Structure 1
Amino acid sequence: MADDGVLIGFSDHFEHLRLDRANRHGLVAGATGTGKTVTLQILAQGFSDAGVPVFAADVKGDLSGVSMTGQPNDKMLARAQAMGLPINPAAAPTIFWDLFGEQGHPVRATVSEMGPLLIARMLELNDVQEGVLSVVFRAADEEGLLLLDLKDLQAALSYAAQNAKALGARYGNVSATTVATVQRKLLVLEDQGGANLFGEPALALSDLMRTDGSGRGYVSVLAADRLITSPRLYATFLLWLMSELFEELPEVGDPEKPRLVFFFDEAHLLFRDAPRALLEKVEQVVRLIRSKGVGVYFITQNPADIPETVLGQLGNRIQHALRAYTPLEQRGLRAASDSFRANPAFDTADAIQALGVGEALVSVLDERGAPTMVAKTMIRPPASRMGPIAPDERAQVMAASPVRGLYDQPRDRESAFEILQGRAAKVAEPAPAAMAPAPAPRVAAAPRASNRQGMGEAFAKSMLRTIGSTVGREIIRGVLGGMRRRR
């Protein structure tokens, strides 16, 4: 890493990504096997060396090598020599995370933090189902019930199903059939491992923004090789994380270097079949989060995978080879070539198709914030190890982790499910025996008391009926997003 930024590679000069323009976001694109993961690795380690924390999803397991000192082979040494670049093998300080808690520290969010819009996206709900989910959210919110994990969500959904008429009179039509559909989709999500995402201790963003004793930024690597098999869960989690950064971090304008760089691999999964409301949210976050000092870099096969409203905000671009055999691929090739500032020395579209492995077209923002002329660039060799690490090496990194012990054991404090269960138990208690009172004189009838029940009372009674008829069956499972912040 040179003083003027993160070293990417060599064209007719060394190509650097300026740190003071790194929060203007970026794109790494290219067909499978063209070198995107290595490019991601050198960028992550370059930012780390500059004192910038990094968060990246490791879809194939290859990025884990950033945690180990590199072992240059003859091909890497020859490439470095051709570039006039010395190789100084080194590892980056690394924290491993895993939604399933197998290849890294568990990473969790509360149901309330996730929100109804994102959970509806995760469950592939239609507008009507999403509306019912929002009603359940509102009712729980007004009752002051914490929604932390799936038990809390299912408790609220059970209440909604059994008291649909009362809720409908207050919030609009709530169909018990619609609630049941949402509950069935929650079971599918749970089978995919979604239950691991919700609960406490919830991830503290400060733990993604750590530096080590020498001032290098930690590279937080999310194990996503299993998570990617549930693409909606994967995309929703990363979007939630970006949204949390946007909401919690203060404005800093354009800093000398980013506070955090966020790499979103397989980015097309975020936008595939996304409803308009979600696309607008992504566009808003990408547009505004740079003023919080966060750079977002999308990694995907083709720039055409990214909506134009988002693509236009990605100032730093590294384009690996693309193939154009089909009409769709040809349109993607044109979109990729047209997005660069042309170089009169070559035709951009032809150059993209002719690139070899480890080569890319590079255009970054200069000191004025304008894109540089596109250049054919040989990507530099990484200082850390290429490829995945062994399980025992991963265990060693986790044993030395600065967050060891903070997230490894789940916590289940009192929240919506426990509170409502307690209310149900009180309703079930028999009234104490008492002596029969003396007959009272006949008086005029008092005004009739209201039969209106609060959410807690109605839920308590309905829960008693449910428990009485479904002993031994687990009824408190699911996912609910909340509009309230974590308490």
Structure 2
Amino acid sequence: MGDNGKTVFVGGGGEGYGTAQGLRLDYANRHGLIAGATGTGKTVTLQILAQGFSDAGVPVFLSDVKGDLSGMAAAGSPSHKLHGPFTERAQTIGLDLTYRACPVTFWDLWGKAGHPVRTTVSEMGPLLLARLMDLTEAQEGVLNIAFRVADEEGWALLDLKDLQALLVWTGENRKDLALRYGNISTASVGAIQRRLLMLEGQGGDLLFGEPALELSDIIRTDPDGRGRVNILAADKLMAAPRLYATFLLWLLSELFEQLPEVGDPDKPKLVFFFDEAHLLFDDAPRALVDKVEQVARLIRSKGVGVYFVTQNPDDIPEDILGQLGNRVQHALRAFTAKDRRALRQAAQNYRENPRFDIEDAIREVGVGEAVTSLLERKGIPGVAERTLIRPPASQLGPITDAERRAVINASPIAGRYEATIDRESAFEILTARAKAAAEAAEAAEREEEEVEVREREYKAGRRYTGGRVSRSTARPRSRRGDSVVQAFAKSMARSLGTRAGKAIVRGVLGGLFRGR
């Protein structure tokens, strides 16, 4: 048995196993869960589902956390050391296994293991940025004010230096802004600047900028009708788990906001795999969890299926777990009381099968086996079955660097994102303002000096004309020749030159280079 155009073949059985299991494409956008302890076969299950969707013409986006999913770009082989046992398994489940590669597009935040992937600060928004930097409520409020000002002034926020310059300007003008938006403390501004420096050190400066990712470039099909498999290199990105989780959540949010409603399609427009899903919810504020729940509940009407991959179903909040209709549960270990509670809870999420105890089955299934429950007609959860997961048609394990580079060079989007663009944005606008203020300050100082020189020359000339000359060497407080308007203008020029102009220059440039 294999894929029939209406289902993705997941696995089958033999003695001790249930009937063949297929994931229906018309219910694939009702999300899913792949769970199990380390080393029980989650990655292989992810790989065979991704290839099944691709063969059915559905584009896929997934993250390669361990660096071994790049093998999807190459065909498997019975001579490969990792594919040895698969021939026998394919015969056991009645699968005519044909090895073949997937059409793959590689992405990488650092632009080395794939095409660069970027977004802009404006598109990320203050909520996700606050989550990314772990800001307090007060600091998040200041960030929201800064974004509001940028929107009203028409200042584009594209990269981190735009946001840094905006925060410096916000701090310098906090008294005026406080009348409209509330108090802005310099301590909060400084704390955000420090978090931006930390984010920059984690690679955030590479994430933000232009050209930004176009969603149409990850929702592609090849001329032969197969969906492209987008693989994000996440092995290095996992060193900054909050950055990893926030980026994937942003991508989900963009899909939710930009894609049109399609109702219940015959097959999804895109399937999104969120590996190491627990990182999304660890220490997440309630507002963020609510946003994820909203996306999970509503994005299926946009034709997008979301599949969470994690070690334990308990990692997923209950409200979101209830949205996941298709489930593949690999083995869970139960050595402690906490493990046993988690195992019991996982078993309770499955429709009972009178032939076996689900809790025992989850504990006992071996590597490459799972307890599955896939949606049936009218979206009813299928009865839990012990399933022998099918072998993958693409290569298990990573491809070589040379093979990866060849795939990248042959990509239909090669060269589109490699060169960065730095158009006029908040940083350039505020820098230009600072420069103009500095020049105005210097001009005012020169004019004042010239006036003083002329006055001294005039007084020196009167010494020889018989006029009265003051013996005081003190600087005069005012000049009788000046009109009221002239005196006011000169006073403002001196203030601009000696205080405001220099403060703006120090504020923008000093804030950027010192990162206060």
Shared topology, TM-score over 0.5? yes
The answer to whether the 8 A contact 2:430-2:508 is kept is: no
Alpha-carbon contact 1:316-1:365 (below 8 Å) kept: yes
Amino acid at match of 2:138: V
Q: Following the alignment from structure 1 to structure 2, what is the Cα–Cα distance between the partners of residues 269 and 3?
A: 34
- Cα displacement (A) at 1:163: 2.4
CA distance in 2, matches of 1:188, 1:67: 35
Aligned counterpart in structure 1 of residue 22 of structure 2, from 11, 16, 25:
16
Counterpart in the other structure of 2:242: 232
2:324 maps to 314
Provide the rounded CA distance (Å) in 1 between the counterparts of 2:145 and 2:397.
47
Query: 26-35 or 79-88: which moved more?
Result: 79-88
The one-letter code of the counterpart of 1:200 is E
Per-residue Cα deviation, 1:227-276 (whole angstroms, up to 9, x for no partner):
11111100000000000000000000010000000000000000010000
> Residue 153 of structure 1 contacts residue 477 of structure 1 at CA under 8 Å; is this kept in 2?
no
**Counterpart residue type for residue 122 of structure 2:** S
Percent sequence identity is 60
Quick one: structure 1 residues 465 and 476, their matched pair in 2 at CA, closer, same or farther if it must change by over 3 Å? closer
Alignment partner of 1:6: what SS?
A: strand
Q: Shift in Å at residue 107 of structure 1?
A: 0.3
Counterparts of 1:190-201 in structure 2, within 5 Å, are 190-201=200-211
| 2:39 corresponds to | 33
The aligned counterpart of 1:484 is: none
The alignment covers a number of residue pairs equal to: 467
Report the counterpart of residue 368 of structure 1 in structure 2: 378
* Contact 1:154-1:476 at 8 Å conserved across structures: no
Structure 1 counterpart of 2:513: 475
CA shift for structure 1 position 161: 2.2
- 372-381 or 130-139, which moves further after superposition? 130-139
Secondary structure of the structure 2 residue equivalent to 1:74: coil
Following the alignment from structure 1 to structure 2, what is the Cα–Cα distance between the partners of residues 445 and 477? 40
Measure the CA separation in 2 of the matches of 1:321 and 1:259.
31
**1:58 and 2:99 aligned:** no
Q: 1:127-276, aligned counterparts within 5 Å? A: 127-276=137-286
The one-letter code of the counterpart of 2:432 is G
Kindly provide the amino acid, as one letter, of the partner of residue 212 in structure 1: D
Q: Which amino acid aligns with 2:304?
A: V
The residue identity in structure 2 corresponding to 1:50 is A
For residues 294-373 of structure 1, what are the structure 2 equivalents within 5 Å? 294-373=304-383
Kept after mapping to 2: 8 A contact 1:423/1:460: no
Is residue 160–residue 176 contact of structure 1 (8 Å, CA) maintained in 2? no
Instruction: Tell me how far 1:136 sits from its aligned partner.
Output: 1.0
Q: What amino acid does structure 2 have at the position aligned with 1:61?
A: G
Alignment partner of 2:345: what SS?
A: helix
SS of the counterpart of 1:277? Answer: helix
Check 1:140–1:476 CA distance in 2 against 1; reply closer, same or farther (3 A cut).
farther
> For residues 466 and 126 of structure 1, do their structure 2 counterparts lie closer, same or farther at Cα, with a shift above 3 Å needed?
closer
Aligned CA distance change for structure 1 residues 283 and 459 (closer, same or farther; 3 Å): farther
Give how far 1:443 is off.
8.6
Look up the equivalent residue of 1:352 and give its one-letter code: I
What's the CA shift string for 1:50-89, capped at 9, x where partnerless?
0000000110011111110111233111111111211100
Q: 2:114 aligns with which of 80, 104, 111?
A: 104
Taking the aligned partners of 1:169 and 1:278, their CA distance within structure 2 comes to: 30
Which residue among 6, 10, 18 is the counterpart of 2:8? 6
Higher relative contact order (CA 8 A, sep 6+): 1
SS in 1 for 2:272: strand
Alpha-carbon shift at residue 441 of structure 1 (Å): 11
Aligned-residue Cα RMSD (Å) equals: 2.5
- Check the 8 A contact 1:152/1:476 in 2, yes or no: no
CA distance 1:188–1:309, shift in 2 (3 Å): same
Residues 10 and 142 from structure 1, CA distance in 2 versus in 1: closer, same or farther, beyond 3 angstroms? Answer: same
Q: Normalising by structure 1, what TM-score?
A: 0.91
Residues 420, 326 of structure 1: alpha-carbon distance in 2 compared, 3 angstrom cutoff: same
CA deviation after TM superposition for structure 1 residue 187, in Å: 1.0
Of 122, 125, 129, which residue of structure 2 is paired with 1:119?
Answer: 129
* Cα distance, 1:368 vs structure 2: 1.2
2:91 aligned residue (76, 81, 98): 81
Q: Which has the larger radius of gyration?
A: 2
1:440: how far off? 9.4
Does the aligned pair in 1 maintain the 2:194–2:515 contact within 8 Å? no
Q: Name stretches of at least 5 consecutive residues in structure 2 with no aligned partner.
A: 452-479, 493-498
Q: Give yes or no for the alignment of 1:463 onto 2:504.
A: yes
Give me the whole-angstrom Cα distance separating, in 2, the residues matched to 1:210 and 1:476: 44
Q: Per the alignment, do residues 222 and 440 of structure 1 end up closer, same or farther by CA in structure 2, a change over 3 Å counting?
A: same
SS in 2 for 1:87: coil
Are the aligned partners of 2:120 and 2:212 in contact in 1 as well (CA < 8 Å)?
Answer: yes
Deviation readout 1:334-378 (Å, 9 max, x if unpaired): 121000000000000000000000000111111211001000000
CA distance in 2, matches of 1:365, 1:107: 34
SS at 2:377's partner residue? coil
Secondary structure (helix, strand or coil) at the match of 2:21 reads strand
The 2-side partners of 1:445 and 1:190 are apart by 49
1:71 to 68, 73, 77: 77
**Is the alpha carbon distance of 1:116 and 1:467 closer, same or farther for their aligned partners in structure 2, counting shifts above 3 Å?**
closer
Deviation at 1:15, TM superposition (A): 0.8
Which AA in structure 2 matches 1:137? Answer: F
Aligned to 1:404, the other structure's residue is in SS state: coil
Query: How far did 1:460 drift?
Result: 7.2
Q: TM-score, normalised by structure 2?
A: 0.86
**Secondary structure of 1:368 counterpart:** helix
Letter in 1 for 2:8: V
After TM superposition, give the deviation of residue 164 of structure 1 in Å.
2.3
1:145 to 1:467, Cα distance in 2 relative to 1, 3 A: closer
Aligned to 1:48: 54
Deviation at residue 445 of structure 1 after TM alignment: 12
Structure-2 separation of matches of 1:363 and 1:183: 48
Distance 1:197 1:463 in 2: 29
